[in-house]
Amino acid sequence: MATYTGACHCGDLTIRYRTDLMPAQWPLRECQCSFCRKHAMLSTSDPNGEVIVAVHAPGALKRYRFATGATDFILCGRCGVYLGATVLNDAWMVINGRVMDCAAELAARVAEPKVFDHESAEERISRRERMWSRCRIDG
């Protein structure tokens, strides 16, 4: 597995993304919910991969929940950058490709628009368990 890195703007939160996929193969999705649109989210994940989020400053990791409350949206408490979202006590995560060091390469590709309004909270969690990357938050 290769390891790719990323971070929020100030560096208080960093990501190590381990996957067998090259960035050109990462599935890119643009969720059409208002939160993701307002944050220009470029979602990616690998169900066979792993995301490790490191918290480098006390209180840097902030969580935001809305709608069904099934997801924690992970933001930096200092610079406000949206890193991604987790479910099931941080077991699974989707990352914002725009925070990755290879973001320019990803942004040059066309992402698939996605609308999940029809899903129940249970259906969303089930889909995320199938499609998102395993996750660990350190710190």
Q: What pLDDT is attached to residue 129? A: 92
Fold of 2-138: 2.170.150
Beta bridge partners of residue 137, listed in sequence order: 53
pLDDT block averages, 10 residues each, the chain of length 139 = 97 98 96 88 96 97 89 96 93 97 94 84 89 95
Q: Where are the beta strands (DSSP E) in 20-130?
A: 29-31, 43-44, 50-55, 61-64, 72-76, 82-87, 92-96, 112-114
Number of Cβ within 10 Å of residue 75's Cβ equals 21
Q: What is the pTM of this model?
A: 0.91
